[in-house]
Structures are given as C-alpha cells and as structure tokens.
Amino acid sequence: MADVGEVLMSVLSTIRVPKPGDRVHKDECALSFSSPETEGGLYVCMNSFLGFGSQYVERHHARTGQRAYLHITRTRKAKKEDDNSSGSGHPPKKKPTRLAIGIEGGFDVDQDQYEEDVKVVILPDRQEITSENLANMPIVVKERVSLSMAGIMAADSVSHTLQVQQWDGEVRQESKHAVDLKQLDNGVKIPPSGWRCEICELQENLWMNLTDGRVCCGRRYFDGSGGNNHALLHFQETGYPLAVKLGTITPDGADVYSYDEDDMVLDSKLPEHLSHFGIDMMTMEKTERTMTELEIAVNQRVGEWEVIQESGTTLRPLFGPGLTGMKNLGNSCYLNSVMQVLFTVPDFQSKYVSNIDKIIDEAPSDPTQDFKTQVAKLGYGLLSGEYSKPAPDPGDENASSEPRGDQVGIAPQMFKALVGRGHAEFSTNRQQDAQEFLLHFINMVERNCRSGENPSEAFRFLVEDRIVCQQSQKAKYTQRVDYIVQLPVPMDQATNTEELQEAERRREEGDSSAPTVRAQIPFTACMAVLCEPEVLTDFWSSAVQAKSTATKTTRFASFPDHLVIQIKKFTFGLDWVPKKLDVSIDVPDTLDLSALRATGQQPGEELLPEVAPPPLMTPDVEVKGILGSHGNDEDDSLYSPLLSPVLDDATVSQLCEMGFPLESCRKAVYYTGNTGIDSAMNWIMSHMDDADFSAPLVLPGCSSGPGNTPTESLSEEHLATIVSMGFSRDQATKALRATSNVLDRAVDWIFSHLDDLESMDVSEGGRSTAESEAGREPPPGPRVRDGPGKYELFAFISHMGTSTMCGHYVCHIKKDQQWVIFNDQKVCASEKPPKDLGYLYFYRRVPE
C-alpha cells in the first residue's frame, strides 16, 4: 500500500471537496448514457466532478492530466417477498397518495433499490483505493480523500436535481376572490345528494358555482373521461369565478377551483359560502375522488397502451440500432417524439452521429454545456443500439403475460436541460407543443451551425407571396423562409356531417350513450384551403396611392428535401377558449406538390411601385414621430412630429373586452397592420410571455420611451451573436431594439421579419426582397435546397389530449418498410399506424 499512498500524495492537490453550487455529475456520463448501473460503472473526476463511462475516462485523463476518479457502480438488489406481497414474489410498490414528486407520499422517481460500491481509482495504472485502505494512509491523505468521497456521494447530482425538482401539486394558494366573494340571494338550496348537471344531466364530476349555486359538469380529461365543460362555460357566460366539487366536501375542506385564476385554490370562507346554499360542511361525507386523486390516477396510467391508438393489439417489442426508447422525464414525451424523428433524417445523422469521435475530441472542458456534444451524444444513443435492451423485470405480476416493449433506453436529462435553459416553457416539467419544440430546436441548430454543415437546411424552404391589387391589377412578390407547412382544417368540409349532427343532438339532449363521432376531413379539402387566394380588404396600393382590395396567393419558391406538415388541430372557439379539433384526415403516403411551385413575375405583368405608404395619423397619442418615406434612424429631420398610427378601435375594444391590457391590444393591432381580430389575437397568444407585453406601444424610430431600447444600451455580445449568423450590424440592432434586447426573441424576430429588412445591407444568411439601391444586385439569400415536389411519408407524431398543454405524444417512424411506434421507452412494431390522427407529418423527397 506504500506505493498507492505515494501516488495519492502526488495527486492530493488535484482532489477537491465539493462546495455548495458545484455541479456534481455522478449519475450520467457527460459524453454517453453510461451510469453507475451500466456495465463498467461511472468514473467521477475528483477535481471537476464530471462523470465518465469506462469508454471515455481514459480520454479525459489523457486530455486533462487528471488522475483521481471516484468509481461508482450500482447493482440492483434482489427483492424480498413479504407478507403484503401480491403473490408474484415481490412486494407491491407503495402507491402515491399525493400529487407530488420527491416528497413523502408523492411519486418516487427511483423506487428500485441498489447496492452501491465506491472506490477511488488512480489513472493510468487503475490503482484502486477503498475506504478501508484509507485507514492506513497518512492523516492528511485520509482526511482529504475521505472528505472528497463523502462530499461527492452526499451531493445532489445534477441529473437527479433536474429529474426530481421537489414539487407538490397539492400546495394551493388562497383565492383572491374568497374574502369578498359575491353570493346571489336567489333562494337556491343544494340537497346533500342526487346532484345532476343542470345542462346535460351528467351525475358525476359535478361542480357548484359558489356565486349562484348553479350545478354543472366539469372538464373533459385528455383520455375522454370527465364532463362536458359546462361549469367552465357557465363561468365564461357569467364571470362567477369560484366553484366547489360536489362529492369532495368533508369537515376538512373540499376541492375549490378558480376559473379566473385557472388553478385549484383555498377558500378560507368555504363553510360560510356553502352554508349560503344550505350545505353543512360538518355533516358531509366524501363520495367522489378529489382532483388530486384523479390527477394521480391519470399520471399513473399515462404510459399504458390503453391511452394510445393501438390499444387493441398485442405489439411486438423491437430492439437494435435505431430502435432505442427514451425515458419520460416528466411530460417530456413531446421532446422524445421530435428527437426520434429528427435522427432518422440523414442530415442530422451525418452532422452529429457520423462525426461523434471528432465532436467529442473537440468538446470544451465542460461538455455538459456544449450543444453540439450533447446533440451528438443523444443521436449516438438513439442510433447505436447500445441502450436498446429489454428493461429489467419490474416485478409486475403481469409482466410476463404481455410483452410491453419497455427498454433500458436513454434518459435525455443533460440534453433537455441544455436546450431548455433560459426558455420560459421548455425549462419546466410541463407538457409542451411538439411543433413549438421542433421550431425551437431548429432555431438552436441554426445558431450553432453558423459555418459548415447545417442539418436544418433539410427542412428549410422559401415561400413566395404574390399580392395583386384588384384596382390596378399590378402585383407585388415577396419571399420568406419557412420550415413547416401549416395545414388548415375546414370543418365545414366533413364528409360525415349527418353523423356529427346526430351525435351532437343526442349529447345536447343528455344522452350519455351518444357515441363519439370524429369528423372525417378529406386531405384534398385541407390543401384546397391552403392554396386558395386570400382576400386583403385593407391593402394600401402604391399604384393607386390609396387603400384597395387585393388577393394574396402563397406558393413554394423551393421544395425542401424533407417536408413537415402540421395539421392545425389546435384553435380557438368563438369564446377564444383553446380547443382541439377531433378530426380524422386521410393523409396520403405519397404527395405531389409540383403544381404549387411559384412562378414569379409573369410575362407582361406590372409590379407595384416600391413606394412607402404615407404615415397614417390619429391625435390620441403623442410620440416623437414616424419615419417618412425617406427618413432613417439617424436623421430626425424628416420625422413627422406628433403622429401616431391609425388603429382599428373596434378590434382594440374587442381584445380589451377579453381581458388583455390596453397597450397589448394596441400593439397587436399595430403589428398585424389592422388586418382583423384573428391575426391580432394570434399575435397576442404568441407574445403573452414577452417581458414587454403590457408596455406602451412605441413606434420604430423613437429614440426613447417605455419599451424602447436605445442603441447604446444594446448588448455587444447579443449583437455579435446575430452578426455571426450572417446578418448585418444594422439588422441585428433593429432586431434587438424591436425585442427589448432579448437575444432569443431577436433571433426569432429577424427570421420572421426578413421582408421588413428591405433597403438594409444583408450578408450571407440574410436576404432582402428588394434591391436597396437602383442597379445594385440583391444580396444572396439563405441557403435552400430545391428539387422535385414529390414526397413519401416516413414519420408522424400524434397527440392525445384536449390541449397541447396536456396529454401525451407518441411517434410512428417507417424503418425498412415497417412502421414502428415509439412511445417513450416502449418501441414496438406497429400493426395499425393511425395515420389519419397525426399532428405533425414528415415527408422525404422521392428520388427521381
């Protein structure tokens, strides 16, 4: 042991004890999905606290010179039978009793018990030192090494902290309406039992409004159970905010929901509020499951086959390269589905998986924070087959009776943390929209592939908008970049209208046995709506120097290698409540879009003059001015003082009546060019999380004012980032000023406002739809691939639930002419792929 002691003494200065704030990666390799449970265990550097699998620890040692590593291995304990066993030889898992994670009674994210072996390993000779060996070491060595070992083992690992953010779904806040709640003296008295929905006669999931005593059914859950939303509709009609769930009232309390605050709440005056309608809390007994119990039940069954479309068949599990499952980290199925599909695209495989050795060799000192490294790690984990192995027997007595397809799989914790960092939604454990995440990830790829191979080019295409003034018959052409085709759903084109009407009639009559009928919409009808000209009723024509009616036609200026089609299932009802359209669309296996190719300016066709419209004015707001047709950001001499844009007061009023701040409504109408309530509402919904959402409207060109960011205060780092993406400094400045100096929003803004960057110099990566000077060649546009518009379907992502904010995602991918379903950790051969119920469809070009 003397030699080992000398070696430890020589590396003692490099061995650190973790301090508060140190990131300790003791559960997952920084470069692979190796862990203490996988073969070879995990080696934690005792200096940087990064973890490495056995295949990468030598590489880290050679690169950094670090020699001391804490080697952690875990093996599953054999489960012992006890008196409470169900007969399978295994004790039953303790069922959760609280809607919580990481606290007593909540969901246990790691109920499996392991035996752990820990020792220090000194490279390159792999000399091993156990805790027992340290007893014979010099005191200085023993103390430092023991403290480091204990500190690493006691620290919360980064992956565990991300997975188990202690959360209690039962902690509720006092409602702001509770103290001064208005209750009507309408003589309503509620009996202690025998309740029914006053609209549809439903006898379960009933809520009593605490203002007027109206009893209505609750919301429909994502799996089809629940009510018919009548309690919610009653709130929308009356504005009465609080309701109590009948059947949950006991002397200890009840479930109270605030529709205005959109959450379960506490009502400190609940006994008084119930007494108003003749209900004595002290004599009530619980007869229905609380919302917490219902949510627990839903969370427990969300991964089961009965909530996905292929529940009626026994599916054959698949294992091997490209057939690797992904663990659900808590509502991360949207991420799992998108990444499974992306890594079937050759561009992503070539960029990240084929070059993984080079990427790892060039990784920074902390690869956990490097985008390219973590994407490559994820891609290799999905495609290599190393983690596509059957999961250990969970001890379920039914496990042997039905093959479920569960795999060891991979847990994309580092990846999820990195791509979600700083994002208001993707950094949380809440459910998200798969389409929004796809665009978010493509945006990150764009930023991180400023030079060299860019796999997002596989999806990038140009759209041509042709606007024709109906008065002068002159045209205007613009082009913009896009990545997804959003396909509208014309509900009035359903082929089974009579069945739908009959089912609706029976539901309105309270017939609980009325079947659920799904609208059958032809794909050709969706395409027809996409292609038909849009009428612009408030178009300012530069040819006639006045407002005119115009038609706008959209076509493909290029066809991408891979085409993504989003079915616009998520929309708003007449009351602006988000809803999902329950439709079946006969999406084809092959697609020919050749007829939709843009043709550009036609022979003999005159173009609209490139003349800016005059500034429109209203005297209600004083601002410094608006750029005239020849003005510029540096010269105020041509500003028109005391001007403000004319805004459609009716649209602003409509938005305000929905509860949105006045300034937000003004901005929505302004930035959508007075084009109507629909476009203004869409603007509001996509900007509600903006930091300056309620800030006063400040026009471009104003050098100061609320919500405006002076050029001198812009972040040079943000400017440099956008410039490095191929845009000019002027363009970067304009984007940052328009988005209050928020980098993520500025990048989104600049890609969605390429047409607004006319007359500005554009470097590679940018584009302009008009020459900035007469006789000057237009700058190069973004790199887009082009080819025939013929495609074949190779993947689709499906969503189950009533909203993108809840429910579950799975994806189907065609591999070697066989459809495969990826449902988190379950990977199986698909028997009946539900191609008519998808949300996102992925096509690839058919080679000629």
Tokens of 408: 């060891």
* Strand arrangement, sheet containing 42-45: 51-53, 42-45, 68-76, 114-122, 127-129
Task: Please name which of 546, 547, 551 lies closest in space to residue 535, comparing C-alpha atoms.
Answer: 551
The amino acid sitting at 649 is: D
Measured CA to CA, the distance from residue 272 to residue 628 in angstroms comes to: 63
Name the DSSP class of 630.
T
Residue/partner pairs of 712-715 with CB below 8 Å, 24 or more apart:
713/741, 714/741, 715/741, 715/743
Binding residues for Zn(2+): 197, 200, 217, 230
Question: Residue 184: how many CB atoms within 10 A of its CB?
Answer: 14
CA atoms within 13 A of residue 689's CA, in its CB half-sphere: 9
Measured CA to CA, the distance from residue 709 to residue 688 in angstroms comes to: 19
CA geometry: angle at 593 spanning 588 and 594, to 5°? 145
Q: What are phi and psi of 581, to 5 degrees?
A: -80, 125
The 3-state DSSP class for residue 527 equals helix
Binding residues: 197, 200, 207, 217, 219-222, 230, 257, 259, 262
Binding residues for substrate: 207, 219-222, 257, 259, 262
Task: Please name which of 740, 733, 732 lies closest in space to residue 709, comparing C-alpha atoms.
Answer: 740
Task: Please name which of 636, 629, 667, 628 lies closest in space to residue 651, comparing C-alpha atoms.
Answer: 667
The residue whose two tokens read 């929308």 is 236
CA geometry: angle at 836 spanning 833 and 840, to 5°? 90
The distance of Cα 531 from the centroid of its chain, to the nearest Å, equals 28
Q: How do beta strands 461-469 and 475-482 pair? A: antiparallel
Measured CA to CA, the distance from residue 377 to residue 357 in angstroms comes to: 10
The distance of Cα 344 from the centroid of its chain, to the nearest Å, equals 20
Q: Out of 808, 811, 812, 828, which one is annotated catalytic?
A: 808
The amino acid sitting at 114 is: Y
Q: Is 808 known to be catalytic?
A: yes
CB under 8 Å to 320, separation ≥6 — which residues? 385, 388
Three-class secondary structure assignment of 31-60: CCCCCCCCCCCEEEECCCCCEEECCCHHHH
- Cα separations in angstroms, 1 against 68, 125, 127, 129: 16, 14, 10, 9
CA atoms within 13 A of residue 158's CA, in its CB half-sphere: 23
The residue whose two tokens read 């009035």 is 492
The amino acid sitting at 554 is: T
- Cα separations in angstroms, 230 against 17, 216, 227, 257: 59, 5, 8, 14
CB under 8 Å to 17, separation ≥6 — which residues? 144, 147, 148, 151
Q: Out of 333, 526, 702, 811, which one is annotated catalytic?
A: 333
Q: Is 71 known to be catalytic?
A: no
Measured CA to CA, the distance from residue 142 to residue 148 in angstroms comes to: 10
CA geometry: angle at 207 spanning 204 and 213, to 5°? 130
The 3-state DSSP class for residue 435 equals helix
Which residues are designated catalytic? 333, 808
